Amino acid sequence: MDNWVWAIFLLLVAVVLGFLELFIPSGGVLAVLAVLAILGSLVFAFMQSTIFGTALLVVIVVGLPFLIWYMLKIWQVTPIGRRMLLDPAEDPALAPDEVLEQHKTLLGKIGTAKSLMMPGGMIEVEGRSYDAVSEGMPIDPGTPIEVVHVDGINLTVRDMTQYVKKSHTPQPQATEPESEPAIEDPFA
């Protein structure tokens, strides 16, 4: 057989091995064999002639991404592909969680601390109780709080009394300096 026949044959073997990789769980062995078949195909193509080798190389470089894309489209509907790629409509674990969505709406809401928060404890916002963590300072029960950060189900709150005290602390008024008693100059 001529070198060009081996080049084409090995290229076809590589394509077949690639398709088999979709259906047979080989741990990547078939994919490695497909890559080796492509390399062997290129070796035989360049042994035939430089022009044929270059042409086959261009076909592989241009066609391989499209072939891989097509194989992945097919792979998605295979039993192995369906097991690997979870469909949110079929898997309840991937469905949106109502609790997480509700926690997102709590950002900026005002409530009260139900327990001593050192720094974790219970809070009440809009009549419902939640676990929360303070920004680092202990918060006494009954203290007004504000939800300042939501990360999934984790709520971070701020003591509103401390915040109000810090932001509304009256500034000392500037007063006119008292006039000092005049000192007599002893040398005058």
Reading the chain (188 residues) residue by residue, the pLDDT tens digits are 788 899 999 999 999 998 888 778 788 899 999 999 999 999 999 999 999 999 999 999 999 899 889 888 888 887 777 777 766 666 655 556 777 778 788 888 999 999 988 888 999 998 889 889 988 788 889 999 999 988 877 889 998 887 655 555 555 555 555 566 667 766 75
Asked if 179 and 127 count as a contact pair (C-beta separation under 8 A), the reply is: no
Quote the CA–CA distance of 63 and 71 in Å, as a whole number: 12
CA angle 99, 101, 90 (to 5 degrees): 80
Strand 120-125 to 128-134 pairing: antiparallel
Distances (CA, A) of 60 to 35, 41, 52, 64, 76: 11, 10, 12, 5, 23
How many C-beta atoms lie closer than 10 Å to residue 51's C-beta? 10
Residues 18-64 have pLDDT tens digits of 888 877 878 889 999 999 999 999 999 999 999 999 999 999 999 98
